[in-house]
Amino acid sequence: MIAVDSGQWRDEFPVKDELIYFNHAAVCPLPRRTAAAICRIAEEYRDLGSWDYVHTLEVVRRGRERLADMIAARPHEVAYVKNTTSGLLLAAESIPWRDGDNVVVAEIEFPANVYPWLNLRRRNVEVRIVNPRNRLLHLDDYRAACDARTRAIAVSQVQYSTGQRMNLPALAQMAREHSAYLVVDAIQGLGALRTEVGEIGADILAADGHKWLLSAEGCGLLYVSDRIIGDLEDHWRGWMSVPEPLDFAVCDQPARPDAGRFEEGTPNVLGAAALDASVGLLLEVGLSEVERRVLGLTDRLIEGLQRIGCSIASPLEPAARSGIVCFEHPRLDADEAVELLQRHCVAAASRLGLVRLSPHFYNDEDEVDRALEALQAGSC
């Protein structure tokens, strides 16, 4: 593993010439190699169509292996999906619900992790809502919401509106005690925080590539553990969900006994090429090193924000920290503070009345200090 000096990766991120980009929790800038990988595949299609399709598809296979590697899963436990929502919809619709079962989900989840569960009301599944206290979620409130009819706990690895990193091992344990599944929306964690599915205890996990994974929009991953794939309903069988998709004349094949059953048709090859390149970069840097850098930058941000009188809404205890820092400015409302930052070429976001900053590993301390200076200018 290479020790990270953010300068070493600077050339991968042309965005640094233009902006202080602290908005990875929204949509990331593409690394140079990722943009090049997309162009390369586009040129192959431009010049050859499907002449060398077997070779073209190699990137899909390699990308899946890298994704599996990144989360310490096996490649057949990983399917490409078009976004987080589609992964969560597949999860919600595949769980074998019985009349009167319930799913536990927090009120402040991003809507991508709410609608798939609300849809289940038509199947007489109860949606049990966990409310935050002072914007943060507490394990006790999840525990109180679970009972013998709980079939799933659905949760973000990191909450988009506060940056709270959830205690997934504890939630996994709670799910197991109720014979329920732990379904994780991982888009705000994967790529910033080292994530091993065995360690966090996820049964199902979904994320698109366009935030911390540093990839393009519209191609992400769905992880389905081998432990539970056999429990899931086979309701999404397309021509590519089966063991021999090229046996075009045979249409009575069963679904594949792995996550590949959720890849119902032709893959998004350009998206897979982008993920392959970006995940390759993250693996090259080292996932622990990426996490160390990200948390080092958010530490510095929190310290500096407190010094200039901002009130931090994100949790401060190390175990609940992530790449997201949310705060209130002493004088400006969140939209005004984001505008002020924009005037200083700092990309930030305003979410639920808070300013949200989300640096990645290639950002540096100098950028943090310049963003703080901009905010301080607005304090007086």
Ligand X SMILES: Cc1ncc(COP(=O)(O)O)c(C=O)c1O
Q: In the beta sheet, which residues pair with residue 347? A: 21
Task: Select 219 or 287, whichever has its Cβ closest to ligand X.
Answer: 219
Q: How far is the CB of 156 from ligand X (least distance, A)?
A: 4
Task: Select 202 or 255, whichever has its Cβ closest to ligand X.
Answer: 202
> Rounded to whole angstroms, how far apart are CA atoms 151 and 105?
12
Q: How far is the CB of 116 from ligand X (least distance, A)?
A: 10
Q: How far is the CB of 205 from ligand X (least distance, A)?
A: 12
Write out the residues near ligand X by the rule CB under 6 A: 83-85, 110, 112-113, 156, 160, 185, 187-188, 208
Task: Select 110 or 239, whichever has its Cβ closest to ligand X.
Answer: 110
Task: Select 84 or 195, whichever has its Cβ closest to ligand X.
Answer: 84
Q: How far is the CB of 67 from ligand X (least distance, A)?
A: 15
Q: How far is the CB of 33 from ligand X (least distance, A)?
A: 22
Q: How far is the CB of 162 from ligand X (least distance, A)?
A: 11
Task: Select 208 or 328, whichever has its Cβ closest to ligand X.
Answer: 208
Task: Select 219 or 374, whichever has its Cβ closest to ligand X.
Answer: 219
Task: Select 188 or 241, whichever has its Cβ closest to ligand X.
Answer: 188
Q: How far is the CB of 132 from ligand X (least distance, A)?
A: 14
